[in-house]
């Protein structure tokens, strides 16, 4: 069985597309956040895609979240500021 072991780091501090291409999210690292910051992940490269997570209130540190995204991945960072590095493997 083939497994993706590494991905391209994509750093976001506001709502945006993580990737507009198909690929696999391996996880994300929350570098910094203020109290109450939330994250919602959706399929697609723009707002309004199908949600693949509920509302996440992550702690600082590594969060493994392996999911295949056939139409790209969009991250909605809300409520308070966060600095998150996503690790995404295209293809």
CATH of the domain at 47: 2.60.120
Is residue 38 included in any domain, yes or no?
yes
Kindly report which listed range (14-18, 33-37, 48-52, 53-57) carries the lowest average pLDDT score.
Answer: 33-37
| 3 is a domain residue | no
Instruction: Classify residue 24: in a domain, yes or no.
Output: yes
Q: Does 2 score more than 70 pLDDT?
A: no
Query: Which range of residues forms the domain containing residue 37?
Result: 9-90
Compare 65 and 6 and report the one with higher pLDDT. 65
Q: What is the pLDDT of residues 25-40, one digit of tens each?
A: 999 999 998 778 899 9
- What contacts 24+ positions apart, CB below 8 Å, involve 9-12? 9/85, 9/86, 9/87, 10/85, 10/86, 10/87, 10/88, 11/83, 11/84, 11/85, 11/86, 12/75, 12/77, 12/83, 12/84, 12/85, 12/86
**Region 69-73: what's the mean pLDDT?**
95
The reported pLDDT for the residue numbered 3 is 63
Domain tally, the chain: 1
**Within a domain: 35:** yes
Q: What is the pTM of this model?
A: 0.89
């Amino acid at each position: 069985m083939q497994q993706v072991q590494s991905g391209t780091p994509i750093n976001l501090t506001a709502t945006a597309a993580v990737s507009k291409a198909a690929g696999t999210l391996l996880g994300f690292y929350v570098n910094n956040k203020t109290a109450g910051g939330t994250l919602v992940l959706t399929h697609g490269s723009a707002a309004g895609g199908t949600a693949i997570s509920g509302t996440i209130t992550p702690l600082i540190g590594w969060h493994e979240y392996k999911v295949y995204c056939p139409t790209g991945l969009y991250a909605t960072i809300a409520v308070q500021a966060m600095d998150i590095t996503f690790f995404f493997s295209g293809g």
